[in-house]
């Protein structure tokens, strides 16, 4: 199995410094800084990248779980919301909310909810982030 890599460089101190992050694939390269992470500044941040990874992984895993149960999805769309809070002594990611909508012809909601919940527990990124509370809002459309 492949090993995926990204790189980041930071210059300066925390509040006035800045950095750049780059995916090995070349699919993304961008800047980040204090205000893009802890305020509403321009640029990306680690939490946004975690959210993107989680949304992508969950959508793929849910499609696999649905297909494996005999319910081929037309589409799966997921938004991951990663929350970071100030805590004594620093900052902490305090929660992740997955909001997913799936178009799956002929599937009843109860069966869909069971597959979605199992996916939340079993997707590789969810497993990697198990130290953080993860909530799921799953909807058939």
pLDDT of residue 27: 95
pLDDT of residue 138: 98
pLDDT of residue 93: 97
| CA 26 to chain centroid | 19
pLDDT of residue 69: 97
Kindly state the tokens that stand for 128. Answer: 């990697």
What angle is formed at CA 113 by the lines to CA 108 and CA 136, rounded to 5 degrees?
Answer: 145
pLDDT of residue 8: 97
Q: Which residues of the chain have pLDDT under 50?
A: none
CATH topology of domain 47-140: GMP Synthetase; Chain A, domain 3 (3.30.300)
- pLDDT (tens digit per residue) in 81-109: 999 999 999 999 999 999 999 999 999 99
Q: Do 98 and 137 touch, CB atoms closer than 8 A? A: yes
CA distance 8 to 22: 6
Kindly state the tokens that stand for 79. Answer: 């938004």
């Amino acid at each position: 199995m492949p090993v995926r890599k990204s790189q980041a460089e930071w210059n300066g101190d925390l509040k006035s410094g800045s950095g750049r992050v780059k995916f090995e694939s070349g699919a993304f390269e961008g800047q980040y800084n204090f205000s893009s992470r802890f305020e509403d500044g321009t640029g990306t941040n680690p939490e946004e990248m975690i959210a993107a990874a989680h949304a992508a992984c969950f959508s793929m895993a849910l499609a696999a779980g649905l297909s494996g149960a005999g319910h081929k999805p037309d589409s799966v769309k997921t938004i991951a919301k990663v929350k970071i809070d100030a805590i004594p002594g620093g900052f902490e990611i305090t929660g992740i909310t997955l909001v997913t909508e799936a178009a799956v012809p002929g599937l009843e909601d109860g069966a869909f909810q069971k597959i979605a919940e199992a996916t939340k527990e079993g997707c590789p990124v969810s497993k990697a982030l198990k130290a953080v509370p993860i909530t799921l809002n799953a909807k058939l459309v």
